[in-house]
Amino acid sequence: MEPQKGERTLAQIRVDHLTFAYEGSFDNIFEDISFSIDTNWKLGFLGRNGKGKTTFLNLLLGKYEYSGSISASTAFDYFPYPVAPGQMELSAAELLEQWKAGSALWRVLAELDQLRGNAEVLYRPFRTLSPGERTKVMLAVLFSGENDFLLIDEPTNHLDQASRENVKDYLASKKGFILVSHDRDLLDACTDHVLVLNRKSIDVQNGNFSVWWENKQRRDQFVRAENEKHIKEIGKLKQSAAQIAQWADRNERTKIGFDPVKEHDRFINTRAYLGAKTKKMQSRVSQMQKRIGREIEEKEGLLADLEEPVDLKLMPLRHHKERLIHIREFTVAYEGSAHPVFSDLTFDLMQGERVALHGENGCGKSTLIKLVMQKAGIGAGDQEACALPGRQKNGAGVKLPVTESGVCETAAGLVISYINQDTSFLKGSIRAFCRARGLEESLFCAILRQLDMERAQFLKNMEDYSEGQKKKVLIAASLLSPAHIYIWDEPLNYIDVFSRMQIEKLLLSCQPTMLFVEHDVRFREQIATKTVEF
């Protein structure tokens, strides 16, 4: 039976003995990995930051040379499409042929309608589109072809909740893609299989994120129980081997020479018997040592893939006042604008509270954060430093060009630790970064290691880091900075699932005072003690 037009034919992508390392690198990103996936799957792609998810997508696209083989009977297409600085004045309609050759505009419009997008965004200069509009346009182009296997890399970063819901509903209705995402809600709604980069292996499993996570927890619990039993067995074997070795040594010492008065029942020919007995005991010791080695080697393979996130630490400061931020009927507009960014905003931030700012992109959440910091004496220039290591700034930075009405007050002498949503200013070495911010380099690197960043990354310049690794730099700097308030503006963009869970556990344990913006709905539900809706 011939497939209908637009219906995907069942095919497989096979990866056999794939090995890859970047030029000049000592470590392989992938080493002798093999698996296969079907092209009609909705595949969630999981793994720690820097483990090679985007690299693998680029290998599928044929961008790098590798050893082993990747065989596929389908073409690949990749989200997001590149837009050079010189193309920002062009519209998506003008970029369409460059992004996806042969794509029909009417099909893009049909896909955009499914994403609840307006057709006019295709004809506006690309620079004028919001992050949500850009994502919708590119996804509409991506899915406008036929029978491509689509590689979708982090589609919801920087998107507000409404845009995420649109993307989630849209992808849930599609199939034939790999989705790289750390958003647990998105992965649960949109995937029916998972491809997981473990520490030493790769898993392909049926089910969404929650199914995989439940299976993984059961497996890890079994491995831990087996390991405890294994350690006890090893201990018994070592004890027996030591005892037999002791007997063998004792017999070895009695082989040569004896006192005929004290040992009147011993004869010269006893020496041969004792030698044979000692040799047999030493052989038993050698066999037990080999068995111990085999036991250890057998278990190491299981333990290598265990995710054992280290508990992070935080040292919040205690302020003498209970109310740290007081906002009443606060209205803000940028100078020259007839419309306020937000109006009549009212809330308090009390010590120990974790307040989430929630609303659409452009509703003024980041503006409010910058104004709060400005009121606390931290100028805009200082805010770009990303973390304020336990010292009060003098407020000499540039002020936001806004007009205000209402009340926005902060307690005197606040020390703030800030995470900026932008990472583009991160350049140079870890050492220079720590020196500029007064951070203890060894402690800073220890936190990065606890967030599972490899030591080899510490030798690179930060501009060569992945976006997830850059975010971990900002988080580590904030965690190392004792503060009265931790102000985090979209801290989890690009951060892997395991690190998100580590950070959630830390914040629930230490209960610092926080003002934060985060579109990961599960993180917000876990962490926020109060949500302010814009």
Nearest to 392 by CA among 473, 485, 327: 485
Other beta carbons within 10 angstroms of residue 493's beta carbon come to: 21
CA pair distance 98, 145, nearest whole angstrom: 14
- Residue spans of alpha helices (H) in 320-418: 365-375, 380-383
* SS3 state of residue 367: helix
CA pair distance 492, 487, nearest whole angstrom: 13
- List Cα–Cα distances, 485 to 62, 355, 509, 514, in angstroms: 47, 11, 16, 5
Query: Treating both helix axes as pointing N-terminal to C-terminal, what angle do 467-479 and 497-510 enclose, rounded to 10 degrees?
Result: 10
Q: What angle do CA 266, 267, 268 make, to 5 degrees?
A: 135
- Please tell me the predicted confidence (pLDDT) of residue 262: 55
- Please tell me the predicted confidence (pLDDT) of residue 264: 53
Task: Give me the residue spans of the domains in the chain.
Answer: 9-75+149-166+174-199, 87-146, 216-303, 323-533
The string of pLDDT tens digits covering residues 456-475 is 889 899 999 988 899 999 99
Sheet holding 193-197, edge to edge: 76-79, 149-153, 177-180, 42-47, 193-197, 202-206
Phi and psi of 144, rounded to 5°?
A: -85, -10
CB 238 within 8 A of CB 314: no
CA pair distance 500, 502, nearest whole angstrom: 5
- Please tell me the predicted confidence (pLDDT) of residue 122: 95
Q: Give 17's DSSP letter.
A: E
CA pair distance 163, 159, nearest whole angstrom: 6
- Taken in order 23, 24, 30, 31, the sign of the CA dihedral is positive
- Please tell me the predicted confidence (pLDDT) of residue 360: 85
Q: Give 427's DSSP letter.
A: -
CA pair distance 143, 497, nearest whole angstrom: 27
CB 371 within 8 A of CB 325: no
| Matching fold, domains 9-75+149-166+174-199 and 323-533 | yes
C-alpha 391, offset from chain centre = 29
CB 43 within 8 A of CB 53: no
Residue 321 structure tokens: 């006042």
- Which residue is it, tokens 């003690």? 529
- Taken in order 230, 236, 238, 244, the sign of the CA dihedral is negative
In what helix (H) or strand (E) does residue 436 lie, and over which residues does it extend? helix 430-437
Other beta carbons within 10 angstroms of residue 286's beta carbon come to: 12
Q: Which of the residues in the chain have pLDDT under 70?
A: 1-10, 234, 237-238, 241, 244-245, 247-279, 281-282, 285, 289, 292-310, 379-398
CA pair distance 522, 156, nearest whole angstrom: 14
DSSP of 47-75? E-TTSSHHHHHHHHTT-S--EEEEEESS-
Using only C-alpha atoms, what is the Rg of the chain?
Answer: 30
Nearest to 381 by CA among 364, 372, 393: 393
- Please tell me the predicted confidence (pLDDT) of residue 356: 97
Q: What is the dihedral of CA 371, 376, 381, 386, to 10 degrees?
A: -90
- Residue spans of alpha helices (H) in 309-411: 365-375, 380-383
- Is the full-model pTM beyond 0.85? no
- List Cα–Cα distances, 10 to 2, 16, 37, 73, 183, in angstroms: 12, 20, 11, 10, 28
CB 36 within 8 A of CB 10: no
Say which CATH class 9-75+149-166+174-199 falls into. Answer: alpha beta
- Which residue is it, tokens 């104004």? 371
Cβ-based neighbours of 47, under 8 Å, separated by 6 or more: 53, 196, 197, 198, 496
DSSP of 256-287? S---TTTTTT--TTHHHHHHHHHHHHHHHHHH
Please name every residue paired with 241 in a beta bridge, in sequence order, or none if there are none.
none
Given the candidates 3.30.70.930, 3.40.50.300, 3.40.50.10490, 3.90.700.10, the CATH classification of the domain at 323-533 is: 3.40.50.300
- Which residue is it, tokens 């709905």? 521
State which amino acid sits at residue 187: L
CB 391 within 8 A of CB 425: no
- Which residue is it, tokens 């709060």? 372
Q: What is the dihedral of CA 112, 117, 118, 122, to 10 degrees?
A: -60
CA pair distance 515, 506, nearest whole angstrom: 16
- Which residue is it, tokens 């063998």? 248
